[in-house]
Every structure is written in C-alpha cells, then in structure tokens.
Amino acid sequence: MPELPEVETTRRDLVPQLVGRRIVGLELRWPRTLDRPPSRAAAEALLVDQRITGLRRRGKYLLIDLASGAILVIHLRMSGRLGVVVAESQEPVHLRAALLLDDGMALRFVDMRKFGRLYVLTGASELDDLLVNVGPEPLEDELTLAAFRERLAQRRTRLKALLLDQRFLAGLGNIYVDEALFRAGLHPLRSAAELTARETARLYEACRMALTVAINNGGTTFRSYRDGWGRRGRHRELLLVYDRQDQPCYVCGGEIEKLRVAGRGTHLCPVCQPLDPLAPATVAVRTRRVAELDAPYLASPSDGSKPHG
Ligand SMILES: [Zn+2]
C-alpha cells in the first residue's frame, strides 16, 4: 500500500512529464473513482484546457496544481498507481481514470481494489476542507522535536495506533510505522504518554529516518512490486523489520515476530523492542548498528549512485 515515500516518489517521477502540459480530456472507466465533483462533466469543466503548473504532496495525497488555481487531488489508497503513457496505448484491465494531455500522452490511474479517489477542487479553501484532518508533515522543518513532543504528550494511545493515525502525523502507514518503531527500539504496544524524553527524541528521529531512507531509494516497496526492470528485492535489504517475520534481526540476531496490533499485522524484534525501556548501553549499541544499516541508503538518488542497485 502506497505510503508517504511511495507518493513522494510518484510525484518526483511525474513532475517532468506533467508540469507545463495542458489537459485536453478526462476519461472515467469507474465513475466512483471521481469523488468530487460528482459528475464527469463538472470535473471536466475545471480540468480541460488547464495547464499543469506544479505537483505537490500532502501526507499520502498527491496534488496537481492547475493554472486557474483549481487542484486535482489524488489518493492512491490500497492499490492505486499513476503513470504517463501514450494515450492510444492499450488500456490496462484495472484502468479507472485518465487525464489526456496535449502531447498525446495520458496520465493513467490504475487501481485494482477501486478504493483510490480523485478530487477536483476549485482552489485552496476546498483543499483546506479536504485535508482538515491531516496532521503535520514528518519531514518538514515546522515539525520540530519540541512540537512532536508536545503532540505526543497529549496522547495515551499505543504507539502503533498513534503513528497510523493521519491526524497525529501525515503519511505513515503500516510499513513505515513498523520501520520507525524498530529504529527507535520501541514496542508498538507502548503508550505514547509514558515515553521518556529520550525515547520521544528517538521516535522523532526514527520516523524521519525511515521515511528518508525510503524516499532516497525511490519508495522502494512500491517500485519493487510495480516494476519488473531488475530492481525487485531491493526493498528487502532496506526494510529492517517489515515482512521479515521469522528472520533474524539485523541488529541483535534474534527472531523478528509478527503480532496483531491496532488491527494490523505488526513486525517487531522482541529483544530490540521490549515493553520496558531499553538500557542506555543497549540503546547506544543499537543506534550505531541501525545507522550502519541505513548508511548505504542515504546517498541522494539524484547523484546517479544506486546503492545495491
Ligand atoms: Zn533485534
């Protein structure tokens, strides 16, 4: 399921293909994909003849800005994918919608599970309404450690449920919540309100690091399931606990477990993430080891070097 790094990767992939293009049509193969306005004609009136001026991301939402000030918002949900192809090319079986462009290409929205949605909004105030419950961006400078601590202190929720809550923090889903909690050495069932100052700082850093590593490597989980050009498997080296049940922990060698927490399959190392706080010496060793594991993936993807590529 696409989370913040996958949506950000999609955004970066699409910018050179979409910005500056003019929209010449909207096709809908599954009408309910269009959430608002309710009719294709009303959406077309806002989209057609408009030039695309930029692409933004907010949490897991992709925002396509148009010259008029209107905004096309896309949420991929469970299985949505976006790609630009020649408009005339054969339609994939799960095609739900397509934006036709003035250069003969089309932005296609393919979504097997049909939960993905498009919102065509008239401008910023409708966008504010749509995103009113979306919490702060974990990688933006505005979310300082102090601000994170303040938000956390008010919550008695268990960490797994809290980090999944888009109102608390935007963009993390099941994969990166597990990755962040492992990096922080925190059990998913710990309560937010009981964390020490140091544990809070570790969690803050861990959320940012788990996302940064994934973004720098092209939203690996997404790409690996999506494409077939030889990058498959990279995400296995990059994800430290997610989908690694019964395999050895990269830090301590213990066995990764899978539990059900907050209704979701949850991966953790019971040694690295005990229910009680870790001893400071253990934290120091773990922090060093996790940093070693992340280091190869922190190179910028734009510099051409593809670690483990
Ligand atoms: Zn471990």
Amino acid at 192: A
Asked whether residue 301 carries a pLDDT value surpassing 80, the answer given is no
Is the distance from CB of 30 to CB of 59 less than 8 angstroms?
no
pLDDT exceeds cutoff 50 at 48: yes
Ligand 1 center–CA 35 separation, angstroms:
44
**235-267 pLDDT, tens per residue?**
556 899 999 999 999 999 999 999 999 899 999
Give residue 182 CA to ligand 1 midpoint distance, Å.
8
Question: What is the SS3 assignment for 75?
Answer: strand
Query: Do 160 and 297 belong together in one domain?
Result: yes
Cα–Cα dist 122/71, whole Å:
6
Q: Name the residue with higher pLDDT: 302 or 113.
A: 113
Res 236: pLDDT? 52
- Collapse the DSSP code of 190 into the 3-class scheme (helix H, G, I; strand E, B; otherwise coil) and give the result: coil
Are 212 and 296 in a shared domain?
A: yes
> Tokens for 228?
């077939």
Q: How many residues does the chain have?
A: 309
Distance 252 CA to ligand 1 centre (A): 4
Residue 248 Cα, ligand 1 centroid: separation in angstroms?
Answer: 8
Same domain, 94 and 124: yes
> pLDDT exceeding 90 applies to what percent of the chain?
83
Is the pLDDT score of 227 beyond 50? no
pLDDT at 228 over 60: no
For the four alpha carbons of 294, 240, 235 and 138, in that order, the dihedral sign comes to: negative
| HEC-encoded secondary structure of 26-56 | EEECCHHHEEECCCHHHHHHHHCCCEEEEEE
CB 159 within 8 A of CB 190: yes
Residue range 75-95: mean pLDDT, rounded: 93
What are the CA-CA distances from residue 52 to residues 88, 123, 153 (Å)? 21, 14, 41
pLDDT of residue 300: 59
Q: Are 15 and 111 in a shared domain?
A: yes
- The string of pLDDT tens digits covering residues 144-168 is 999 999 999 889 999 999 999 999 9
CA count, 13 A, side-chain hemisphere, 41: 0
User: Cα(232)–Cα(217) distance, rounded to whole angstroms?
Assistant: 12
Task: Report the pLDDT averaged over residues 275-280.
Answer: 95
Q: Which residue has the tokens 């253990």?
A: 282
Q: What are phi and psi of 135, to 5 degrees?
A: -75, -175
Residue positions annotated with a catalytic role? 2-3, 60, 264
Number of domains in the chain: 2
**153 and 185, same structural domain?**
yes
Instruction: Examine the fold and report which residue of 130, 161, 182 is the final residue of a domain before the chain moves on.
Output: 130
Domain-embedded: residue 137: no
What does the pLDDT average to over 294-305?
A: 66
Q: What is the pLDDT of residue 189?
A: 97
Question: Is there a single domain that holds both residue 154 and residue 265?
Answer: yes
CATH number at residue 121: 3.20.190.10
Confidence category of residue 230, pLDDT binned at 50, 70, 90: very low
> In this structure, are 122 and 165 located in the same domain?
no
Output 246-250 pairs: Cβ under 8 A, ≥24 positions apart.
Answer: 250/289, 250/293
Confidence of residue 69 (pLDDT cuts 50, 70, 90): very high
Assigned domain for 308 exists: no
Return mean pLDDT, the chain.
90
Q: Which residues contact 24 (CB under 8 A, 6 or more apart)?
A: 48, 49, 100, 101, 102
Q: Residues 72, 176: one domain?
A: no
Final residue of a domain: which of 87, 107, 130?
130
CATH number at residue 241: 1.10.8.50
Query: What value does the mean pLDDT take over residues 79-93?
Result: 93
Q: Give the type of residue at 2.
A: P
Q: Residue 100: beta bridge partners? A: 25, 106
- Cα–Cα dist 250/261, whole Å: 22
Q: Is residue 136 part of a domain?
A: no
Q: Which residues pair with 255 in a beta bridge?
A: 248
Residue 139 lies in a domain: no
Other CB atoms within 10 A of residue 306 CB: 12
Q: Taking 60 as the threshold, does the pLDDT of residue 229 lie above it?
A: no
Is there a domain that residue 197 lies in?
yes
* 153 & 108 share domain: no
Per-residue pLDDT at 298: 83
Is 87's pLDDT higher than 90? yes
Which residues crowd ion ligand 1, with CB under 5 Å?
A: 249, 251-252, 254, 269, 271-272
CA of 271 from ligand 1 middle (Å) equals: 5
Q: Within a domain: residue 297?
A: yes
CA distance linking residue 232 with residue 210, whole number of Å: 19
Q: What pLDDT score was predicted for residue 238?
A: 81
Residue 308 pLDDT level (bands cut at 50, 70, 90): very low
Mean pLDDT of 275-287: 95
Distance, CA of 109 to CA of 98 (rounded, Å): 6
Q: 165 lies in which domain range?
A: 145-303
Taking only the tens place, the pLDDT of each residue in 164-216 is 999 999 999 999 999 999 999 999 999 999 999 999 999 999 999 999 998 88
pTM of the model: 0.91
